[in-house]
Structure formats: structure tokens, C-alpha cells
Structure 1
Amino acid sequence: MRFHCLSGNPNKPCSIIQFKQATIMLDCGLDLGTLENYLPIPLVSSAKVYSLPQYSGGDNNLGSELRENNGRVYIDSEPEFLPPTSEFFNFRDIDVILISNYTCMLALPFITENTGFKGKVFATEPSILLGKVFMEEMIEFLDRAPRINKPDRWKQFHKHLPPPICDMKNVNHLKQLYNKATINNCLANVQIVGHNEKTDCFGLLQVTPVSSGYCIGSCNWILSTGYEKIVYISSSSTLTTHPRAIDQLSIKNADCMIMTALTQTSALMPDPMIGDFCRIVCETLKSNGNVLVPCFPSGIIYDLFECLAGQMEMNGLTTIPLFFISPVADSSLAYSNIMAEWLSGAKHNRVYLPEEPFIHGTLIRNGRLKSFANLQDETINSEYRQPCVVFCGHPSLRFGDAVHFIELWGNNSNNLVIFTEPSVNYLDALAPFQPLQMKTISKPIDTSLNFTQANKLILESKPRCLVIPEQYSHSSSTPSLPHSSEINLELGIPTFTYNKFDILKLPLKRTYENLSIDPALASTLVPTEVRPGVAIATITGNLVVRDNRYTLLPLPEIKTEKDGKGRPVRLREDSKTGIPLNKQKPCHYLYGKLNTNQFVQSLASQGISDAKVETGPNGGFPVQIHLPAEEILIQVEEKSTHILYDQAEGSTAADTERLRQILKETLLTCISKF
């Protein structure tokens, strides 16, 4: 089996495996790290952003494309993204794409559209719906404030620009975001699967999604044949949150386990972070400050609504509103409450009370949580009051409503912006807006497996080999947190590590194939007991391979005719039977080794008595039998016998044929057969 890595970010994975003539892509995450190098796009003209000085360094006249702030350079254009590149692997050769969750599918339109891709895509229903929510939100944010100028001269000189722009990789592969039509075409061809649903892939293997416990609809994938099992672990969690619990039983005893998308905050547990988040928000509200929470439209935000609302009620802050502003806010909130079968047992059981699984439905009805598509919503002016808590996107602070609130509240030290998204460096996100008076705090909440949990999961699952990103094998732990940031490589499991664009050859080879026997052929089998409890039967049939499935059918009927004595004989001419000899049932089956002593004695009884025998080392194989008068050399090996002969001088062709028949019949009498 071969493994190809197309992503340099383990938490936005994209890899390909080739096994049994099938090419399968595992996830297609879109790394948003390039956004930090772009200038924010405000909803309205911003004097602060657009008054930043143009870049004056170098001799390349790039001032119109780049701006500076506090010694850092930013690209003044619409942000571009770096999807998995087809330079190292042609996407049209991919047979199947498996999606683990909605955070790992944002690059899917780049892969399936306008690339010649003709394969299948499998994902759970929540992954498709919420993945579309993520995609549409980004498109809407960028469409609200389109940038007319699309400079790209900086790409020619980026190596000579200050960091971090000079450190950007593959800048020539940067692409603008897709549009809604591309999304619809892409998702229309995705096949919905449910947890534990087995799906056949071209007769080569079966793929099965099992719950990973990370988010609504998230899954790990099991790829299995009749004899091999591959497990793909991506963005999993053993914590008790709102998604369905992880299925640890199904992933045990794999021939190969591929593990990626572990925690990005190995030293920070989610529960204390959520507790700190609620405490800090309540303290800010009590001091008459506003709170901005840059966030994605789905995921941990559901838990934050629930926990924060409870803490605000305990602190007597129920009159302070929570605002959720996103072009997909209503869709996200609605989807979460109609997907009960994908939620934890406690939330799923609420449906039968009947109650909504999440309390944000109740908060909306009570007027404590209000959702708006954008700041231009006609009702937002009547509902807006301060202090308040605003949840909005984008966490990168490069586009979306969060940019507006940073500028609106940034000059008041009572206000607070608090980051919870672990994939965002909050200092880089805020850098273009500096100096700011408002307080900034980062409380990253990552519920995915930490390294201690991952080591425990590997130990209990007992895979025969393990594949992990190379950075997971490097320890960055502290004395108080041993092995907090690495996979324990001393588990006695062969481990393979990879970086971006690496190709691994894994020790997983095809061994056996399942074969179906036609019922008519199976009914003719007559097992013979060779020892107590063990019976064998010979079988001869016509092997048919269709759609990668193997079936053994009965041989066609063979015509017979009678010889001169009235005995039936089988016709051997293809022209008479229409059946090639290689498809006809043999008269007998040979097995075992040639008894050379018996063979020489039998030749002597046939009048060939000049045989000279040469044995191998210690009297074993290979054995050479030379018949000088007949000019024949017989080479006997352990698993085969070769007869080399030529027409002897003075003999006729008929004599040679008669000698060939004698050798053949004598040889067959000295080999075991049935």
C-alpha cells in the first residue's frame, strides 16, 4: 500500500492511499493559514485600514499591492487560499474521496470541479449540510465587500519580502475562493452515508464510517477487505460533549492505522477553558463592557451558548442579549436541533420528552439569543443594545462582521475580544488593527484527542502499524507534562511518519481474495477425510472476474465419442468441442516430488538402461539424469522437472515421438496423483 500526503497541516488533512487498484483520498481540508498575510476587508470604508502606509522596502515598486503596520507587511487584495495541489497527484485518477467531518471538506470544490474528477465522494449528512454552511459563509463575507484590485506581482518577489510573506509556500498555486454554483455542483454528487453503514467500492473493498465523537456527523473511516483492515482516525474525541460518542470498538485490530488531526492545544483541557471563557465574559459584562467572540458558524459555539447562558443566569445577567450574526446563522441553529440521531445520548433523549436537544432554541424564544444574517438586517437596530455579547465570523479577522466590531469597539478598554478557535493565532489576527485599547484574551477550546488520549487509544486498539504526521513524533513536552505533545513511539508498533508531499510504502500487501463458488458446482464436491476433523475436496471450474468479484463456475459440458472398442473418449481438438484444452477438466492432479530412483528403474524396464544420475549437495536436489544414447538430459528440481531432448542421429521423427511418450508415461507413474 502506498500513502501520499498532500497537506502540511495535520489539522487540515488531505492524503491519498493506493491499495488493491483503488485510489482513495482521505479528507480534503483547506488550510486557512494564508489569511494572516492579507489586509482585513472592512464592511464599510475604514480610515484606519486604508490609511496604513504602503510598503516602501525594496526596489520592486510593490507599494500599491502591499501595506505596512508595526513593521509587518500585508497583501492589499482579496484573500487567496492554498488548496491541495494536483501537481504531485492527478485528481482525475482518484476513485473515492472520504470526508471525516465538515471542517475537513472545505477544499472539496477545488478537487472535484474542473479537474476531470469522476470518482465518488462519501460523507455523512451533517457533514454535507454544515460543510455547505461553512463554505457559503466565507463566500458571503467576500462578496459583501469585493476588492476591485487583484494584484499578484508580489508573488514574483515574495522571497525578497519581509517575513512571514517570504515564508509562504507555493504562492503560484494560491487560488480565489469558489462560488455558490461551484459548491452546488460539487455537493450534488456527494453520496450520503450513515454511521456503521458499509458501502462497496467497485468490489475492491468496503468503507464504513464510525462515530469519532468530535462534532455533529464526524466519523472515522474503516477500509476493509475480507482479509485486510485499514483505519483512518481524524479529528476524534473521547470527551462527553454534544456529538455522538466515539466508537472505539470498531477501530481495534487494524492492519494499518492512520492518525491525524490531534489537538492543537495539548496543554489546555477544554473544560477549564470553557469555564474561564464564561467567567471572563461575565466579568466584562458586569463592568459594562461588550464582548466579541470571533467564531465559526457551527461546532463548539453550540456548547458556548449553553454554558454562557447558564453562567449569565447565575450572575443575574439575563437581560443582556447574545447576538449571533452570520449569513448562515439560522441554518446552523436549525440544523443542530433536527439532527438528534447524530448527538450524544443525553441530547438525543431530549427529543422524546419532547424538548429540543440544544437550549439555544429556548434562548431564541425567550429573547436572550438573537440571530441576524448581517448588520444590514432591518431589525438589528431595534434589538441592538449595550452591553452585549456578539458571536460572529470570521475567526481570522480578515473578513466578515467581526472586522466591523473590532473597529467599532476597539478604542474602549472596557470591551473584550476573546478567541476560542485553536487554529487561529490571535496575535497575528489582531496585528493589522494595532494599536487597540480593548482587552484581548485567547481561550482556545479544542475537544479533539490530546497526545495522552491518543497514546491510550493506540495501545487499546492494537494496530499492526501506525502512520502519523512527522511533527507528532517530536517531543515539545514540559517536565510537568511528559509526552504531552508527542505520540509514544515505544509502544512496540511499527510507526511511519510523513511530511507534506511524502510518499510512504507501507507493509500492507494483498494476501487473499474472496471467491464465490457457483451452487451447481458446489453441489458436486465430495470431501474426503484425510485425518479426523479435516476433509478435502478437489474442485475444477471456470474462474470469472467481473467488477473485481471472483466467481468459480462449472466447466462447460465436454462432448465425447467412442473409440474402436466402443469406449467413450474425450475429444481433444478445439475445433470439435469448441472448448480450449486449458479450460477442460484434467484427468488427474499431480502432487509431491519425483522419486528419481523409481524413475530410473522404470526407464530400465522400458529398455533405457544407460541412465547416469548426478545428485545435488548431500544427495538432494537438483538431480540430473543423463541418457547418452538418446541424447536426453532430465533436470529434476524440488518443484519442477525439465526434459531436454533432441532427435538423435540416425533416428526418425516417429522414433523421437515414441521416446517422448515413454518418458511422459514413465514420469507420471513415479509422481503421486489423485
Structure 2
Amino acid sequence: MEEGEQTYDFAVNNCLDMRKRQKILKSLICAQPWYKTPNNLHLWDPSSIDLVLISSTMGMLALPFLTQTKGFSAKIYATEATTRLGQLMMEDLVLMHNEFHHFFGSDSGSPQWMSWEELELLSPALRQVALGKDGTELGGWMPLYRSADVEDCVKKVQTLKYAEEAWYNGTLLIKAFSSGLEIGSCNWTINSPKRNIACISSSKFCSVNAMEFDYHALRGNDLILYSDFSSEGVLTNDEHDNNFSASTTYNSSTPSADNDDLILKECLLRNDESLEEREKLAFICSCVVDSVKAGGSVIIPLNQLGIVLQLLEQIPVYLESSAMKVPIYVISSVAAELLAFTNIIPEWLCKERQEKLFSGEPLFSHSELMKGEKLYVFPDVHSPDLLTNWQEPCIVFSPHWSLRLGPVVHLLLRWREDENSLLVLEDGLDTDMALLPFKPMAMKVLQCSFLSGIRLQKTQPLLEMLRPKEVLFPEDLREQIKFSGSHSFSVFYYAENETLGVPRSKDSVDLEIASNLATQFSWRKLDHDDVDITRLEGQLFIDHGKHQVLSGNKVSEMASRKKPLLHWGVPDVEKLLTVLSKMGVKGSVERCMSDAESGSDEIVHIHEPSKALIEVRATRTVISARDEQLASLIFEAIGNLTGGI
């Protein structure tokens, strides 16, 4: 009987523990969203950051976390399109949070799930998300910024047009060139007197909306910082199995104009990627049509603007070919502004879109669809106009792709039990976790992956064509791509939170000196070095990467003195006493040990004609005397024993 009671108690406790776990998991999913910043960001010294380059709209979303940090004063650069689109997305995110607070209230302090008692009850996978692999990342979670933070952040961004020159501190020339990923997304070139650098972010060679990847502008730089981490998620099965070697695709130690053309034709510009994307979009459109034919509705909370714009153009075509009239809704607080903005940024659009501008056609078809009452745009699900216009079945584009905020939450609660309805998600989202608050769920889920970077088999051919001297490559991709031994550049691997030293390409910079100053030089050769030195007085200017010394308006009195004013070297104290003795100055030497780095110090005590002290150290000589005339004599004696200008 006692054994049976123990078994019963164990079963009850296990059941209670399971219920508690489910309750905590439910509260975690439904709690006010917090955001995980890069590991140890809160430990960084923001004052050590000089320059921030934003390459994409998604990169803009995290910027307020950095700009609101105390001590941050770095210069921020982004393209005009990225800045505006990023601002709209940040404002939409803040408004969705405000709506969450309105309906569910705001949490005071840290969320309940961040307490250690509840963290211990989470599943291992979820606990790793919260704490990180080593359990030290809990401090990286932060609440969302406010609208005032967004406004302040955008004010700090210097926006650039396509290939526009921007000089940072008069030394670095910065330009942005299209990466082909999204409208406004870019790669960067940084030219300096000592080294030219190209920064490659996530890029696409073929794009239906954005201007194509302008890799020609990245050629001939000394160093390439390769930061396309999306390659981790776009490997094919063959690449996973074989630990892809770049040398199998392309191998050349002497690139030339001829094999550049071969690279472009056979590897880089193959249209297999665009064909694959078109096939995926066609499949999505067919699934959408099938759902609405069956009487179900469709929710599309995708975050890639380019994919959304293509679906907005293609779905109406599929509906029309099926003789169906189904309303398409775009529900977002910034949807109207965002769609309007895409029609006024031609410099960041592909050539086909630009040609429409010159022919007087709209750049995108959504404006015509709105006029034809096939597409409707509303700010939120509670809009009176939307409630008046609402019809089902329908197709809805709405945020947020995380399924935690925005109109998508209300729509999922409405249609989750309809087996004919469809939810379209992007790959990378944990659907089991994301859909947990909406279970039991009968609606279909279609999860699609879209190319968001350079495929690994194209990496080395691209780098060979760009012809850098050095390449900085992510450590995380070291095992996934094997560079051939015959490549024409050196490869260095960088990792998070580690400083990487890169060899200098130039030890010096050119200095332009005004001719009227150069004619006044009085050179003097150093005794122990094959170096000539002269004194120069002027004003140093650094502008547009050039270092110049120009003459000042006034000649300093110090420059007109004949005797040396600057000295170098360590005086020999015995010789110093001899020289001083001839001047009628008597003294004695005291030797003492100092720290290990500077070695021994020598102190000369002057007794006559008055008291004085001379401290001779490895890096400096200090004269201490009340009598100004005596100090001048000692200074003159030291000057006779050392070099000076």
C-alpha cells in the first residue's frame, strides 16, 4: 500500500509539474515581447564606436537600442531608401506594441518568465533561447524602444544616395552600392590613405525589384570584409553533405579579363536563382487560389518587402485567370506610406522598373490595383472603413511575422479552426513555438524559404573577380567553404567578440607641404640613425583623404630662435658634469634603480653657485632650479650633448 501511495504521489506531482510547465510556456508566448540584443552588447563601451554602416532595412530595426545607449556618439550612414523604410517599420513595430499595451496592459519591470524559478521549468531548447548556450545571455533581453527613440535615431543617420561620396573625419571616403537584396540595401566601400576596404553584406545577383548587385564597384580594393552570414541558411543538401569546396567550381591563380567574362557567364549571373524564386512564388500563388476556392482565407505575414511586392502583383493575376474576385487587404499602420514610397525611389530599383518610370507607367502595380478596387489598404483591423468593406474569403497581408503582435494575431484567432484557410510563413521561424498560443489549429501552414544572400559556390569566384589582397571571412563559415590553395588573396577568419589583427598594406601616408615652408628646412642628421630631421611650423589639414601642411599667418617667436628648442637622446652625466664645470657649475652624481622597464635613473645634484637638481631618465630629463640663470646654463649644457632642432 505504501508503494502504491508513492507511485500515486509521483504521478500527481508529475502532472502538476507538466501543467506548470505548460502554463509558463503559454505565459512566455503571450507575454509582452522583449528583444534579444547581440551577446554582451550591454558590456560594450559605446564611446569606442566611431562609425556605424547600416546595410539593410532589417539592420535599421535594432539601431535605436544602440543610439539610446549612454556615451554613444558614432557617425551613422545608411541609404535614403533604407532609412525611410526602416523608419516606417520601426514606427509600425512601436504602434503594434502600443496596441498590445492597450489590450493587455504593460509589464512593470522584467517579465515573469525571466525569473530563475520559471526559467528552470522551460524545455532545454527554450531555455537555450532565453539564456544562450553558456547561460550568460539573459542580460541581453531588452524591452522595445519608444517612438521618441525612433525619431532621435533617425535624426542621427546621415542618408546617402546611390554611390554618393561621404567623407568621415576628412580621411575616410564612404560610398554605398546596391547589394540586390532589397530596395535600398547596399554594400560599402571605404577608401583611406592607407587601405581601401569593401564591405559585402547579404547580396543577390538577380533581383526582380531592387537594383542588381553592383559588384563591379567593389573591385580593386585592398581588403574585403565578407559579412554575408545568410550563407549559413542557404546551403543545398549537396553542400551540407560535402562541406562545399569553392575550388570545385572555380580555380584560377591568375585572373584576367577573359576569365572574368567566363566567371560572369558560367557562375555568377546564372539565372537559376531567379527561376527558383519564381517557381516558389508561383507555388504560393497556386496554394492561395486553392484556399480561397475552398472558401478559406489567407494570411501572409512576410517580412521581406521584395517578396510581398511580387506577391501583390502575381496573386491578382492568378485570381483573374481562375475567374475569381477575392479582395486583397494590406493591414498596417504604415502600409499606405510604404507602398507610396516604393513608387518614388527609382535609383534603387532594377532596370525594368526604371524603364517603366521613363515610359510613364507606375513602377509597381499596387497603385492600379487600388484604383480598380482589387487591393485595399487599412491602418488596423479596427478601422471603421475596413469593417464596412470586409468580405470573406479574402487574402490579407499584415504584420508581424513573429505572430506575436499586430493584426495577424486577431486574424489567426478568427481562422485557426478553418481547415480551408492558409497561413504563409517564411522559413526560419519555429512554427511549433510560434503557433502554440493558437492551438488547436486546423488551418494549413505553408512555410517557404527565399534566397537572402550569396550561395557558397559563388563566393570564391566572386572574390577572385574582385581581386582583393586580403579577405576577412566569418569563422562560422570556415568549415562550410574550403578555399582552394591557388586563390590570389590571403584569408583571415574573424569571430564574435574577438579582435583580429590584419597586416598593414602601407606604413605611411603622403604629406603635401607648402613650397614656402619646404624652402625653409634646415636638415640635421641623427647620430645613430640614417634619418634626417628638421623643425617645421605650419598648420596640418586633413581633407578628402589628403594630408597637407600649410604655412600659418604668423611666424612663431620660437621658430625664429637660432638655438635648438627640441632635443633628443640621453645625456652622458659624466660629460655633463665636465661641461657644467667649465661653466662654473659644480655638482655630484647619484645613481638609483627605478622600475624594470625604464632601468636605472641618474640624479645630478648641483651645489654651486646655487642648489639645483637634474633627473636623467630613459625617456626624459628634468631640470629643477630656483635660479632661472642657472637653469638656462644647465639647459645649454644638455643641448651641447644631445641632438636638437
Q: Offset at 1:251?
A: 0.9
> Could you give the per-residue CA deviations for residues 255-303 of structure 1, whole angstroms, max 9, x where no partner exists?
2211223353334842221121122212222222211111238332112
Structure-1 residue corresponding to 2:90: 135
Q: Decide which of 416, 441, 447 is 2:422's aligned counterpart.
A: 416
Q: Offset at 1:491?
A: 5.8
Structure-2 residue corresponding to 1:545: 540
Distance 1:65 1:211 in 2: 47
Q: Offset at 1:497?
A: 2.9
Matches within 5 A, 1:503-522: 503-508=499-504, 510-518=506-514, 520=516
> Could you give the per-residue CA deviations for residues 599-657 of structure 1, whole angstroms, max 9, x where no partner exists?
xxxxxxxxxxxxxxxxxxxxxxxxxxxxxxxxxxxxxxxxxxxxxxxxxxxxxxxxxxx
Structure-2 residue corresponding to 1:208: 175
Matches within 5 A, 1:72-471: 74-84=28-38, 85-146=40-101, 147-148=104-105, 149-150=107-108, 151-152=111-112, 154-157=114-117, 158=119, 161-167=122-128, 168=130, 169=132, 170-261=137-228, 262-263=230-231, 264-267=233-236, 269-296=276-303, 298-317=305-324, 319-419=325-425, 421-471=426-476
Structure-1 residue corresponding to 2:607: none
| Contact persistence 2:35–2:142 (CA under 8 A) | yes
Equivalent position amino acid for 2:211 in 1:
R
Structure-2 change in CA distance of 1:552 and 1:67 (3 Å): closer
Structure-2 residue corresponding to 1:568: none
Structure-2 change in CA distance of 1:225 and 1:133 (3 Å): same
**TM-score, structure 2 normalization:** 0.69
Q: Decide which of 24, 41, 46 is 1:66's aligned counterpart.
A: 24
| Contact persistence 1:65–1:77 (CA under 8 A) | no
Bigger Rg, structure 1 or 2:
1
Structure-2 change in CA distance of 1:555 and 1:144 (3 Å): closer
Structure-1 residue corresponding to 2:602: none
Distance 2:76 2:212 in 1: 24
Partner SS for 2:384: coil
Structure-2 change in CA distance of 1:239 and 1:95 (3 Å): same
Structure-2 change in CA distance of 1:524 and 1:163 (3 Å): same
Structure 2 residues not aligned, in runs of 5+: 1-13, 237-272, 522-532, 568-639
Structure-2 change in CA distance of 1:332 and 1:153 (3 Å): closer
Structure-2 change in CA distance of 1:378 and 1:579 (3 Å): farther
Distance 2:541 2:204 in 1: 41
| Contact persistence 2:294–2:420 (CA under 8 A) | yes
Partner SS for 1:453: helix
Distance 1:179 1:555 in 2: 50
Distance 1:576 1:290 in 2: 85
**TM-score, structure 1 normalization:** 0.66
Structure-2 change in CA distance of 1:116 and 1:575 (3 Å): closer
Distance 2:555 2:141 in 1: 66
| Contact persistence 2:42–2:140 (CA under 8 A) | no
Partner SS for 1:331: helix
Structure-2 change in CA distance of 1:365 and 1:509 (3 Å): same
Root-mean-square deviation (CA, aligned residues, Å) is 3.5
Q: Offset at 1:446?
A: 2.6
Distance 2:177 2:51 in 1: 17
Partner SS for 1:129: helix
| Contact persistence 1:55–1:67 (CA under 8 A) | no
2:498 equivalent to 1:502: yes
Structure-2 change in CA distance of 1:306 and 1:210 (3 Å): same
Equivalent position amino acid for 2:454 in 1:
L
Partner SS for 2:216: coil
Matches within 5 A, 1:562-577: 577=560
Equivalent position amino acid for 2:280 in 1:
M
| Contact persistence 2:295–2:393 (CA under 8 A) | yes
| Contact persistence 1:541–1:552 (CA under 8 A) | no
Equivalent position amino acid for 1:439 in 2:
K
Distance 1:134 1:199 in 2: 26
> Could you give the per-residue CA deviations for residues 83-105 of structure 1, whole angstroms, max 9, x where no partner exists?
23444431122222111121112
Structure-2 change in CA distance of 1:424 and 1:468 (3 Å): farther
| Contact persistence 2:187–2:198 (CA under 8 A) | yes
Q: Offset at 1:375?
A: 0.7
Distance 2:555 2:25 in 1: 86
Distance 2:163 2:121 in 1: 52
Partner SS for 1:222: strand
> Could you give the per-residue CA deviations for residues 308-366 of structure 1, whole angstroms, max 9, x where no partner exists?
2223223323x211111111111110111111122111111211221211111111111
Equivalent position amino acid for 1:74 in 2:
L
| Contact persistence 1:340–1:347 (CA under 8 A) | yes
Distance 2:477 2:62 in 1: 24
Identity %: 24
Structure-2 residue corresponding to 1:634: none
| Contact persistence 1:555–1:583 (CA under 8 A) | no
Equivalent position amino acid for 2:561 in 1:
G
Distance 1:139 1:390 in 2: 21
Structure-1 residue corresponding to 2:524: none
| Contact persistence 1:543–1:551 (CA under 8 A) | no
Distance 1:65 1:115 in 2: 38
Distance 1:427 1:280 in 2: 21
Distance 1:214 1:88 in 2: 32
| Contact persistence 1:255–1:508 (CA under 8 A) | no
Distance 1:363 1:401 in 2: 22
Distance 1:576 1:275 in 2: 78
| Contact persistence 1:216–1:343 (CA under 8 A) | yes
Distance 2:124 2:293 in 1: 41
| Contact persistence 2:162–2:347 (CA under 8 A) | no
| Contact persistence 1:208–1:223 (CA under 8 A) | yes
Equivalent position amino acid for 1:143 in 2:
N
Partner SS for 1:254: coil
Distance 2:412 2:559 in 1: 90
Structure-2 change in CA distance of 1:385 and 1:524 (3 Å): same
Equivalent position amino acid for 1:379 in 2:
D
Structure with more helix by fraction: 2
My pick for the range that moved more, 220-229 or 122-131, is 220-229
Distance 1:468 1:344 in 2: 29
Distance 1:576 1:458 in 2: 53
Structure 1 residues not aligned, in runs of 5+: 1-53, 476-485, 526-537, 560-573, 585-660, 665-674
Partner SS for 2:396: strand
Distance 1:582 1:196 in 2: 49
Structure-2 change in CA distance of 1:95 and 1:575 (3 Å): closer
Q: Offset at 1:76?
A: 4.6
Distance 1:504 1:166 in 2: 32
Structure-2 change in CA distance of 1:55 and 1:442 (3 Å): farther
Distance 2:22 2:472 in 1: 46
Distance 2:317 2:213 in 1: 27
Structure-2 change in CA distance of 1:557 and 1:285 (3 Å): closer
- The size of the alignment, in residue pairs, is 493
